[in-house]
């Protein structure tokens, strides 16, 4: 059975290998790639807050978000907005009350800071959307006509419909998303991926999908349009990075409900304070302005202000890694993934079997075997053949020879019928190939097969490798010299990555079309938890459904049409940009770099998003304890002097205490914006250990920080006349 992962695209070739025009365009591509790199550096997570230009661009959006129709989407900040309007009205009614004006100003700043955090997060997406819009051009398409014997007509790209066939040649911009149905060409996708090297797009395989706005560099292709105008991949990217298509995730909705519930609880608690104050004779210390300040300080304004920005920044972190999530739900699901399905070829292994060692039979030497193996591989242009030449040169010091040396040699190419390749030169015949074919060749030429040849072959096969026999016929007759051990090379660092995933509580499953023996050997070397050998599309679906039936979330990658059902079934389906349109439609994420190993990074970003929400929620709620000790004693110390014992911070005066708490409440939002945009640093560990760590840092930190911050602000305010 062929390897189920054989449809995975190989790594992008150097630009010189992509087509006859690639080298001509390389300078332009490199320059464009550098510009994109600089643009990404300017928009990297956490950088936008301290970029004055970004702040300036985001400030108008922050003011526009003061609209009640926008603010009502965030219950916590909507309450703060109502409080700001109320204190403004009270301050206007009593223009001489400077305390009311100062409280009002800081409440408006609290709302503005919250809007600015969200606007900065959205602004970085809009900056990328502007870059994408530049890739959209009003192109003219050469549409094939059904009538007229396959003639062409020029039509605007906006007039194309699903099913239309268009012709694209070197220099043409592809007018819409589609699949190549005829021909092969090198395509510049730098406008989409930021990658300078051209890519190959061809009909009849899993590298047939093309994107509107990309440019054909060489040859001629016929593209079948698969999307409507305005619904192309670039249009979807623009909507996603701008946030227009972002929907709140289940966890974000649940957090909003929790925050709204806490807000209602604190609102009821604050409302009941007024009757108590009247009864205690402390009505003068519980004005509406003071009660509003208390309410704003006690409700979880910090996480309420940053909740949306955290979600937007999580999407942006994926975009920075050239991954498009079709919904925030997919990003969140990535954080909860417990089973990871990974293709072997191109993900866990390099994708091509490489020569690992030369094993001679008894009576032959390694040097003799290496020389014959290299000579027989000079005409073999496959990656395996080239790896034999390189191994002989590096390990045995043989000089690098090339096809055509010596000139009188007769090269025997590999064919599916003979399953051998080799060379006839200087009265000697050298053959390399499949065990059965080489053994038959030796016997055909009257030679005897060494006793250990088959044993070596079986040993390598059982170890999961691929044996290639090398034989020679010379004056001494035909004989086997030894075996070349080909093996899938596991990528560097994969075992360590899988160890990290295991510490995260994620089970890894390798999927391959190899036989179980080979699959087991690679799985053990790579360190995955399980493997699925001789996998078919139906097997993948069954595995995903079985895992999901056990309450687990499953993530997988794919690029072919046969992967589409499994991608659609998986909770996180990452389609490769080089794959078919069917795969990209079925998945809920698209990797523009077509790097299957990026699935591991996607899971880490998803977990970081969930951790950031949890950590800042913990910090925000813990903040309320210090604010309680600041404001409650200030309100009731006159009526109940014994409450002054709760003034453990030794705040200067009731006015100073209340104002310090309100100022700290606003400034802490600004202080935490970089963390919200960048995300809480993630380290692979068990859930229990992670919970203890975050409670220790953000729970304890949320308790201590306000005591320090409010006290420092109070010391500064105590220098102001009238507040001492």
**What are the DSSP calls for 114-175, one per residue?**
HHHHHHHHHHHHHHHHHHHHHH----EEEEEPTTTTT-EEEEEGGG--TT-EEEEETTPBP-
The number of beta carbons lying within 10 Å of the beta carbon of residue 695 is 16
124 is in an annotated binding site: no
Nearest CA to 450 among 485, 480, 477? Answer: 480
Give the DSSP H/E element, type plus range, for residue 254.
Answer: helix 250-280
The response to whether 12 counts as a known ligand-binding position is: no
Closest C-alpha to 450, from 469, 475, 432:
469
Q: Would you say 235 is a known binding-site residue?
A: no
Question: Annotation-wise, does 414 bind a ligand?
Answer: yes
Across the beta sheet with 530-532, the strand order is 323-325, 589-591, 572-576, 554-558, 339-343, 507-511, 530-532
Interaxial angle between packed helices 75-93 and 250-280, expressed in degrees from 0 to 180 and rounded to the nearest 10: 40
Which long-range contacts does 437-445 make (Cβ < 8 Å, 24+ apart)? 438/469, 438/470, 438/471, 438/480, 439/469, 439/480, 441/471, 441/478, 442/471, 442/473, 442/478, 442/479, 442/480, 445/473, 445/477, 445/478
53 appears as a binding residue in the annotation: no
Residues 6+ apart with CB under 8 A from 243: 122, 125, 312, 315
Map tokens 């709760």 to a residue: 646
Per the annotation, does 57 bind a ligand?
Answer: no
Residues shown for the chain: 724
Annotation-wise, does 417 bind a ligand?
A: yes
Annotated ligand binding at 563? The verdict is yes
- Considering Cα of 55, then 60, then 62, then 63, what sign does the dihedral take? positive
- Cα(632)–Cα(640) distance, rounded to whole angstroms? 11
43 is annotated as contributing to ligand binding? no
Give the DSSP H/E element, type plus range, for residue 191. Answer: helix 190-193
**346, HSE (Cβ side, Cα atoms, 13 Å):** 21
Q: Are 241 and 129 within 8 A, CB to CB?
A: yes
| Best CA proximity match to 106, nearest among 655, 672, 705 | 655
Sign of the C-alpha dihedral, residues 526, 531, 536, 540? Answer: negative
**Would you say 415 is a known binding-site residue?**
yes
Q: How many angstroms separate the CA atoms of 303 and 300, rounded?
A: 6
CA dihedral 153, 157, 161, 165 (to 10 degrees): 50
Catalytic residue among 3, 206, 343, 714: 343
> Does the annotation flag 416 for ligand binding?
yes
559 belongs to an annotated ligand binding site? yes
Catalytic, 343? Answer yes
Cα torsion angle, 517, 520, 521, 522, sign: positive
Task: List C-alpha distances in Å: 316 to 187, 555, 701.
Answer: 26, 20, 27
- The residue ranges of DSSP E strands in 257-362, in sequence order, are 323-325, 339-343, 349-360
By C-alpha distance, which of 477, 485, 479 is closest to 450?
479
Tell me the pairing of strands 209-210 and 178-188: antiparallel
Task: Classify residue 416 as exposed, middle or buried by CB count within 10 Å of its CB (0-12, 13-18, 19+).
Answer: exposed
Separation of alpha carbons 722 and 291, rounded Å: 21
CA 139 to chain centre: 31
Radius of gyration of the chain (CA): 34
CA within 13 Å, CB half, 635: 26
For the beta sheet containing 420-425, the strands, ordered from the edge strand earlier in sequence to the opposite edge, are: 349-360, 477-490, 466-474, 428-433, 420-425, 410-412
380 belongs to an annotated ligand binding site: yes
Angle, CA 97 vertex, CA 95 and CA 102 arms, to 5°: 100
Binding residue ranges for Mg(2+):
559, 563
Active centre residues (catalytic): 343
Binding residue ranges:
380, 384, 414-421, 432, 559, 563
Binding residue ranges for ATP:
380, 384, 414-421, 432
């Amino acid at each position: 059975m062929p390897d189920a992962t054989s449809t995975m695209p190989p790594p992008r070739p150097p630009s010189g290998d992509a087509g006859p025009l690639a080298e001509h365009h390389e300078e332009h591509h490199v320059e464009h790639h550098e510009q994109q790199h600089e643009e990404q550096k300017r928009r990297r997570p956490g950088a936008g807050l301290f970029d004055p230009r970004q702040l300036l661009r985001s400030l108008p959006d922050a003011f526009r978000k003061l609209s009640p129709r926008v603010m009502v989407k965030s219950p916590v900040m909507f309450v703060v907005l109502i409080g700001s309007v109320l204190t403004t009205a009270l301050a206007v009614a009593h223009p001489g009350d400077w305390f009311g004006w100062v409280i009002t100003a800081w409440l408006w700043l609290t709302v503005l800071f919250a809007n600015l955090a969200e606007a900065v997060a959205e602004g970085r997406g809009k900056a990328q959307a502007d870059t994408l819009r530049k890739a959209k051009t009003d192109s003219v398409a050469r549409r094939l006509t059904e009538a007229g014997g396959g003639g062409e007509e020029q039509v605007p790209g906006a007039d194309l419909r699903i099913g239309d066939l268009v012709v694209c040649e070197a220099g043409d911009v592809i007018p819409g998303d589609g699949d190549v149905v005829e021909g092969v060409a090198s395509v510049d996708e730098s406008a989409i991926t930021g990658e300078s090297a051209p890519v190959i797009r061809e009909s009849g395989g899993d590298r047939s999908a093309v994107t509107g706005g990309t440019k054909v560099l060489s040859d001629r292709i016929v593209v079948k349009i698969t999307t409507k105008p305005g619904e192309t991949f670039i249009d979807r990217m623009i909507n996603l990075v701008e946030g227009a298509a972002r929907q709140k995730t289940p966890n974000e909705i649940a957090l909003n409900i929790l925050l709204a519930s806490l807000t209602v609880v604190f609102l009821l608690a604050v409302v009941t304070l007024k009757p108590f104050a009247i009864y205690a004779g402390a009505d003068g210390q519980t004005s509406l302005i003071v009660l509003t300040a208390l309410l704003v300080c006690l409700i979880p304004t910090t996480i309420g202000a940053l909740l949306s920005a955290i979600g937007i920044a999580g999407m942006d972190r994926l975009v920075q890694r050239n991954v498009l999530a079709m919904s925030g739900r997919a990003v969140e699901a990535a954080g909860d993934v417990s089973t990871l399905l990974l293709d072997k070829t191109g993900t866990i292994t390099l994708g091509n079997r490489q020569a690992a060692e030369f094993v001679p039979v008894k009576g032959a030497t390694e040097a003799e075997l290496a020389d014959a193996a290299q000579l027989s591989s000079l005409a073999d242009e496959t990656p395996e053949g080239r790896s034999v030449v390189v191994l002989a040169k590096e390990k045995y010091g043989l000089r690098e020879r090339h096809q055509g040396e010596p000139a009188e040699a007769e090269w025997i190419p590999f064919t599916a019928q003979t399953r051998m390749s080799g060379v006839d030169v200087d009265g000697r015949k050298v053959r390399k190939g499949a065990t059965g074919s080489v053994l038959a060749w030796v016997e055909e030429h009257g030679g005897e097969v060494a006793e250990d040849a088959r044993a070596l072959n079986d040993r390598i096969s059982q170890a999961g490798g691929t044996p290639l026999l090398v034989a020679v016929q010379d004056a001494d007759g035909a004989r086997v010299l030894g075996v070349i051990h080909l093996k899938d090379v596991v990528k560097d660092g994969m075992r360590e990555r899988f160890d990290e995933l295991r510490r995260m509580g994620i089970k890894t499953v390798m999927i391959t079309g190899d036989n179980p023996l080979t699959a087991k050997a690679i799985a053990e070397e790579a360190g995955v938890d399980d493997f699925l050998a001789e996998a078919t599309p139906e097997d993948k679906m069954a595995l995903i459904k079985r895992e999901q039936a056990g309450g687990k979330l499953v993530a997988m990658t794919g690029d072919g049409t046969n992967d589409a059902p499994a991608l659609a079934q998986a909770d996180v389906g990452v389609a490769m940009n080089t794959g078919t349109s069917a795969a990209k439609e079925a998945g809920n994420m698209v990797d523009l770099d077509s790097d299957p190993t990026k699935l591991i990074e996607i899971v880490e970003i998803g977990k970081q998003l969930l951790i950031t929400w949890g950590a800042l929620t913990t910090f925000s709620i813990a903040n309320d304890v210090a604010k309680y000790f600041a404001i409650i004693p200030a309100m009731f110390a006159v009526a109940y002097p014994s409450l002054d014992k709760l003034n453990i911070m030794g705040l200067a005066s009731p006015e100073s205490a209340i104002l310090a708490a309100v100022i700290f409440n606003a400034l802490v939002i600004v202080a935490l914006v970089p963390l919200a945009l960048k995300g809480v640093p993630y380290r692979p560990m068990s859930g229990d250990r992670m919970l203890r760590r975050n409670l220790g840092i953000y729970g304890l930190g949320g308790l201590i920080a306000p005591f320090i911050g409010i006290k420092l602000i109070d010391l500064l305010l105590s220098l102001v006349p009238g507040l001492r």
